[in-house]
Amino acid sequence: MMRMAHWRRAFSPGRVVVLALLTLLTLFTLYPLVWLVLSSLKTPYEMFDSAWRLPEVWQWGNYRTAWAFGLGHYIVNSVIVTSVSVTLILLAGALTAFLLTVVPFRGKALITLFIMGGMVLPPEVSLFPLFRILNMFGLYNTYGAMIVPYVAFGLPFAVFFIGAYMAMVPHDFYEAATLDGAGLLRCFWSIYLPVSLPAVAAVGVIQGMRVWNEFQFALTFIESDSLRTLTIGISTFGDALRVDWAVLMAGLVISVAPVLAAFLATQRHFVGMAQGGVKG
Amino acid sequence: MRRRDFATGALAAASAAVLPRGAAQAQEKVTLSFLHKWPEPTYMAFFQKVVQEYEAAHPDISIKMDAVADDPYKAKIRVVMASGNIPDIYFSWSGEYAHQFVRAGRALDITAALQAPEWQGRWSAAMLEPFRFDGKLYGVPMNQSAAVFAYNRAIFARVGVTPPQNWSELLAVCEKLKAAGVTPIALGTQAPWTAAHYIGDLNAKLVPAATRAADYTLAAPEDKLFTDPGYTEALTRFQELLTKGYFNRSPNAMTMAMVRGSFASGREGMILTEIVTLDPMRSAKIGTDGLGMFPIPPIEDGRGDQKAVTGAPDGFLISSATQHPKQALDFLNVLTSRANGALYTKQTGRPSATIGAVTTDNASAEVLQGVALLQGASAMSLWLDTVIENRIAAVYLAGAQALMGGTATPAQVMENVRKTALEVKREGV
Amino acid sequence: MTGWRARMAPYALLAPMLALVAVFVYLPILANIRFSFYRWSSLSPTWVFVGLANYRRLFADPLFWSSLGNNAIYAVASLAVQVACGLVLAAVLESTLLPRRLSGCFRVALFIPSVLPITAIGLLWQLLYQPAFGLVNAALETVGLGQFVHAWLGEESTALLSVVAVSQWQWTGYIAVLFVVAIRGIPRELYESAEIDGAGLIRQFFSITVPSVRQTTFVLVMITIFGAVKVFDIVWIMTGGGPNNASQTLGTYMYRSAFQTDAVGYGATIAVLMFALSSVFGLLNLWLQRRGE
């Protein structure tokens, strides 16, 4: 009797509808990944001619060609730039979020506005002036030419997202900590940072993605091939008239794989950790 | 950093001019910066080989090469120019595009340098012309290209048509193909410069050469600017191909890559494309011999130049601020030699501009046909989007898309072009 | 930690971040404001001071207004789909309707579009939208909606909306996951007591979930609006702003002006306007956020 009721509840119409919709949505979002991999195994004309069918002959050679182009050192560069940028963004972002959301002091509103303004413009706008500024600081054509702007542009989002999460923490935590005489940094490092780890992890993955796929700055501010990142390396697989599309697809899969892996590995943590994170 | 380069550069240049070769080798290293738009693996292999060989032969010269793909190149060259960090040697399309650099004083006048014996017999006059402004030469051509029709031999044989000799024959061929259930011409205008091939060529054939030159360079008087009826006729003929059902449906929704892929799969009868894309289209479906080419047919009563070929060289300019003009020229000399030109064509499939570089050893029959076409042309009609001022080109191309989408008439498009041209002329660019 | 040092501490800690943002984000903005008062081709070393001429020209430029309209459409669609539907999706994923593990799978799947490189997305959707062999038209015909078949990216009337749709596909899952992070921070007890009180799932959503994620909502609304004002690469890659400028946005127009039609001053003017627009909305957002506190 109880089992029947359980069954009926398990398959209530609401639930079935939701499941069906979500499954449809999932197919809709996963299919492109499948398509990307399949396309990378086709010949260039197959890609456009029979875009939706399976490859006639699985062209594993595309990956060999893509790799032979020296993707190895591009990946190293991308890894260096991404890990350094993300680490800095998270540390600086979380600290700033803490200071702006939790700590009381004068001029907070103005500073908040100031940081917010950093999110407003698309990076393409800054190409001319940034080029000069980077030259001035001697950063042009170095890892710094990418890392510094990425941190500067990635900071605002980190601040606001982590800040929004920190704002959900009851203020008593801060009062209790300062009453105990803890300094700001201690309060941040031992209490607020751990508590907002889910938001921090989320921002880390997101900014990591952004930096890994970033094109405009990596292209304009870097000249030496030895510093090139993966995204730029792959974009060179063809010009307007003669693109080897299938090899390009293989390159894109190679580029997506690490990001996807990183996401899959960490997502459980940043969402999982939050469960029961903040008790009322 | 730049100051030090200046000192060493000046010293090297001075001594190279005064001392015999051997002594010059005792100088400090000269660095040439070289920016081009071919980062693809096949091209880079060629460039790196030439650079390495050159550096080995000239131990006192080191070449810093950077390559950025086609679309981002347009942005990068501007950022680089604006910051004053101009590369010693940089890529440029010919025509108005190169003229911009010349007008801004960024390109070196190499007319005298090219008179030297080592440059003679290198290029035909037609190749150099698009790099000549106010009677002076500024650019070194690297490769050449032309817009031609590629056709599917099997389809033509099946339907019983042969390559047309003039425009009305072209229309007849299209009609026969359409009747046989084959899409006559493949066209993709999502990136509108493909339409520029058609319009540019039709302009050349329908508008008298002198009028066209005056209009393109904005030298014509205001009340005559872009008023020749040939322009509107060109657009009408272009649109006619669509309304008669000779293009595939919705060209605006197709990218050139899709369309070329479709042609290479044997679907359409013809496609207007550049000779450098001919060989890659010989897919398994169409067969290595399945592709032929014919020049864009002349128009019987056209008032323009029927022997003009829509094509252009592109190549390199030297910075007017370079500290090492001699070395830069020397490197370009080596880069465009007949041997290296042949290697370039063999490796990349793109026809070198150097005379004698493109032979049966490194090019297919159709590519050779295209090169011969360029050699025999009375004049080269450059790509429409690089031969007129940017803003006017933008309006022209948007108008082409409107024609393909049926949202504007040829008269309306020309009206917009005329308006923009007047604006630009008045600003005195 | 006594008086003076304690009071200075926040400022001292913030200083390096503020300096970074000031130099690398604001200096370029100021430079752009300066550029907008000149007429300048990037290739030429000479600039010509033209005062407000660029602004006057901008406001009289029909292409500016149509681009602005396109951005507005973008913003409205993004707020409705990404933020509103994203929140609903997040709530559904976190609710009791789904077992934990299944919810986790869905969450991962929905996030994936935002991970793909823009080149892949552009190519994929150009093919999907292709009128002759694209899956979109094929699907419509299979379902019997054949009369809705269009040349999506090729027609001036559907081009922008087609690109907008791709953006929603790309970012909705991402926004949903960000909301999930926020929802996870809501104490379970609130839901449990509501359920005991007899409130259904929908009631729980509106009276508990929505108010509790307020802060996050404001942030996400803000970044969505900013994103809508500065949208560039998805449009550039899919239509280049065409056909015939039908899908031109402020971002693509600005890029074209600065890097193709060689009017850097004019491009800077558009950029200044984008900054002003975003600032207005950002301030509005902040004010609303403050009001509610």
Q: What is the DSSP-derived secondary structure letter of residue A170?
A: -
- Before A123, cis peptide (omega within 30)? no
Band (B6; pLDDT cuts 50, 70, 90): very low
Buried b (16+ CB within 10 A) or exposed e, A264-275: eebbeebbebbe
Q: Give the residue on B whose Cα is nearest the Cα of A47.
A: B261
CATH of B27-144+313-375, one of 3.40.190.10, 3.30.1490.100, 3.30.70.420, 3.50.50.60: 3.40.190.10
Contact assessment for residue A192 and residue A136, using Cβ atoms and an 8 Å cutoff: no
Q: Do A153 and C25 touch (CB under 8 A)?
A: yes
The per-residue pLDDT for range A39-71, each reduced to its tens digit, is 888 887 777 777 788 888 888 888 888 887 778
| Alpha-carbon distances of C159 from A51, B19, B373, C64, C146, rounded to whole Å | 21, 65, 39, 17, 19
**Residue B203 amino acid letter:** N
Cβ under 8 Å to C: B residues 75-94: 75, 78-79, 81-82, 84
Q: Give the residue on A whose Cα is nearest the Cα of B71.
A: A240
What is the percent of chain C where pLDDT is above 70?
Answer: 99
The DSSP bridge pattern shows strands B30-36 and B61-67 to be parallel
Q: Does B190 touch chain C (CB under 8 A)?
A: yes
Please enumerate in sequence order all residues whose Cβ is within 8 A of that of C68, keeping only pairs 6 or more positions apart, or say none.
Answer: C250
Q: Does B76 touch chain A (CB under 8 A)?
A: yes
Q: Count CB neighbours of B326 within 10 A.
A: 14
Q: What is the 3-state secondary structure (H, E, C) of C225-293?
A: HHHHHHCCHHHHHHCCCCCCCCCCCHHHHHHHHHHCCCCHHHHHHHHHHHHHHHHHHHHHHHHHHHHCC
Query: Which tokens is B324 given?
Result: 């090492």
Contact assessment for residue B32 and residue B89, using Cβ atoms and an 8 Å cutoff: yes
Please enumerate in sequence order all residues whose Cβ is within 8 A of that of A195, keeping only pairs 6 or more positions apart, or say none.
Answer: A166, A169, A173, A277, A278
User: Which CATH number is C162's domain given?
Assistant: 1.10.3720.10
How many angstroms separate the CA atoms of B260 and B188, rounded?
9
Domain A69-274 sits in CATH at: 1.10.3720.10
Residues from chain B contacting residue A237 (CB–CB below 8 Å): 40-41
Query: What angle (nearest 5°) sits at the alpha carbon of residue C288, between those of residues C287 and C289?
Result: 90
The per-residue pLDDT for range B301-320, each reduced to its tens digit, is 899 989 888 988 999 999 99
| Alpha-carbon distances of C23 from A118, A150, B372, C133, rounded to whole Å | 11, 13, 56, 50
Among A27, A48, A90, A120, the strongest candidate for a mutation testing the C interface, having the largest count of C CBs within 10 A, is A120
Secondary structure element (H or E) that encloses residue B67, with its range = strand B61-67
Q: Do A236 and B40 touch (CB under 8 A)?
A: yes
The per-residue pLDDT for range B102-121, each reduced to its tens digit, is 988 899 999 999 999 889 88
According to the model, what pLDDT value does residue A243 have? Answer: 66
- Burial (0-12, 13-18, 19+ Cβ within 10 Å), B385: buried
According to the model, what pLDDT value does residue A182 have? Answer: 67
Residue B250 has pLDDT above 70, yes or no: yes
Contact assessment for residue B215 and residue B225, using Cβ atoms and an 8 Å cutoff: yes
The mean pLDDT of B7-14, rounded to a whole number, is 42
Residue B232 has pLDDT above 90, yes or no: yes
Band (A124; pLDDT cuts 50, 70, 90): confident
Strand partners, B31: B62
Query: What angle (nearest 5°) sits at the alpha carbon of residue B189, between those of residues B185 and B192?
Result: 135
Q: Do B249 and C41 touch (CB under 8 A)?
A: no
Query: What angle (nearest 5°) sits at the alpha carbon of residue C157, between those of residues C154 and C158?
Result: 60
Residues from chain B contacting residue A43 (CB–CB below 8 Å): 283-284
Residue C44 has pLDDT above 80, yes or no: no
Query: What angle (nearest 5°) sits at the alpha carbon of residue B164, between those of residues B162 and B169?
Result: 115
What residue spans define the domains of chain A? 13-59, 69-274
The mean pLDDT of A86-108, rounded to a whole number, is 89
Residue C68 has pLDDT above 70, yes or no: yes
According to the model, what pLDDT value does residue C144 have? Answer: 84
According to the model, what pLDDT value does residue A3 have? Answer: 61
Q: Mapping DSSP to helix (H, G, I), strand (E, B) and coil, where does residue A46 land?
A: helix
The per-residue pLDDT for range B69-98, each reduced to its tens digit, is 887 888 888 888 887 789 999 999 998 889
Q: Which of these, A253, A47, C121, lies nearest to B258 by C-alpha position?
A: A47
Band (A277; pLDDT cuts 50, 70, 90): very low
Q: Which of these, B306, B321, A276, lies nearest to C45 by C-alpha position?
A: B321
Q: Which domain holds residue C110?
A: 36-292
What residue spans define the domains of chain B? 27-144+313-375, 146-310+381-427
Query: Which tokens is B138 given?
Result: 């500024």
According to the model, what pLDDT value does residue A280 have? Answer: 28
How many angstroms separate the CA atoms of A193 and A182, rounded?
15
Q: What is the DSSP-derived secondary structure letter of residue C61?
A: -
The per-residue pLDDT for range C199-255, each reduced to its tens digit, is 788 888 888 888 888 888 988 898 899 889 989 889 988 898 888 899 999 999 998
Residue B4 has pLDDT above 50, yes or no: no
According to the model, what pLDDT value does residue B414 have? Answer: 95
Higher pLDDT, C82 or C47: C82
Band (B19; pLDDT cuts 50, 70, 90): very low
According to the model, what pLDDT value does residue A242 have? Answer: 58
Contact assessment for residue C77 and residue C164, using Cβ atoms and an 8 Å cutoff: yes
Band (A129; pLDDT cuts 50, 70, 90): confident
Band (B12; pLDDT cuts 50, 70, 90): very low
Secondary structure element (H or E) that encloses residue A63, with its range = helix A61-68
How many angstroms separate the CA atoms of C194 and C166, rounded?
38
Band (C185; pLDDT cuts 50, 70, 90): confident
Cα Dmax for chain A: 78
Band (A6; pLDDT cuts 50, 70, 90): low
How many angstroms separate the CA atoms of B346 and B336, rounded?
14
According to the model, what pLDDT value does residue C7 have? Answer: 75
Domain annotation covers residue C58: yes
Q: Mapping DSSP to helix (H, G, I), strand (E, B) and coil, where does residue B94 land?
A: coil
Phi, psi of C82 (to 5 degrees): -65, -50
According to the model, what pLDDT value does residue A61 have? Answer: 86
| Number of domains making up chain C | 1
What distance in Å separates residue C43's CA from the closest CA in chain A? 12
Mean pLDDT of all residues belonging to chain B: 87
Q: Name the residue facing C242 among B78, B192, B390 (closest C-beta).
A: B192
Which chains border C (3 or more CB–CB pairs < 8 Å)?
A: A, B
Phi, psi of B389 (to 5 degrees): -55, 145
Higher pLDDT, A265 or C171: C171
The DSSP line for B271-334 is EEEEGGGTGGG--TTT-TTSEEEEPPPP-TT-SS-TTEEEEEEEEEEEBTT-S-HHHHHHHHHH
The per-residue pLDDT for range C219-233, each reduced to its tens digit, is 889 889 988 998 988
Domain annotation covers residue C179: yes
Query: Which tokens is C246 given?
Result: 């039908």
Residues from chain C contacting residue B190 (CB–CB below 8 Å): 126, 153-154, 239-240, 242-243
Q: Do C245 and B405 touch (CB under 8 A)?
A: no
Strand partners, B41: none
- What is the total residue count of chain B? 429
Using the structure block, give the residue that is written with the tokens 């657009």: B235
Please enumerate in sequence order all residues whose Cβ is within 8 A of that of C176, keeping only pairs 6 or more positions apart, or say none.
Answer: C85, C86, C87, C89, C90, C93, C107, C110, C111
According to the model, what pLDDT value does residue B18 have? Answer: 44
Secondary structure element (H or E) that encloses residue B394, with its range = helix B390-405
What is the percent of chain B where pLDDT is above 70?
Answer: 93
The per-residue pLDDT for range B204-229, each reduced to its tens digit, is 999 999 999 999 988 889 888 999 99
Q: Do C244 and B399 touch (CB under 8 A)?
A: yes
Please enumerate in sequence order all residues whose Cβ is within 8 A of that of B84, keeping only pairs 6 or more positions apart, or say none.
Answer: C45
What distance in Å separates residue B53's CA from the closest CA in chain A? 19
Residue A100 has pLDDT above 50, yes or no: yes
According to the model, what pLDDT value does residue A30 have? Answer: 87
Q: Do C187 and A279 touch (CB under 8 A)?
A: yes
Cα Dmax for chain B: 75
Phi, psi of B343 (to 5 degrees): -60, -45
Domain annotation covers residue C96: yes
Cβ under 8 Å to A: C residues 237-256: 251, 254-255
The DSSP line for C129-182 is T-TTT-HHHHHHHHTT-GGG---TTTSTTTHHHHHHHHHHHHHHHHHHHHHHHH
The mean pLDDT of A117-128, rounded to a whole number, is 77
Contact assessment for residue C21 and residue A115, using Cβ atoms and an 8 Å cutoff: yes
Strand partners, B30: B61
Mean pLDDT of all residues belonging to chain C: 87
The answer to whether the Cα torsion of C3, C6, C11, C12 is positive or negative is positive
Residues from chain B contacting residue A219 (CB–CB below 8 Å): 68, 72, 76
**Residue C98 amino acid letter:** L
According to the model, what pLDDT value does residue B320 have? Answer: 92
- Burial (0-12, 13-18, 19+ Cβ within 10 Å), B157: exposed
According to the model, what pLDDT value does residue C207 have? Answer: 84
Q: Give the residue on A whose Cα is nearest the Cα of C41.
A: A128
Residue B17 has pLDDT above 50, yes or no: no
Q: Does A48 touch chain B (CB under 8 A)?
A: yes
Domain annotation covers residue C13: no
According to the model, what pLDDT value does residue B157 have? Answer: 93
Band (A1; pLDDT cuts 50, 70, 90): low
CATH class of B146-310+381-427: alpha beta
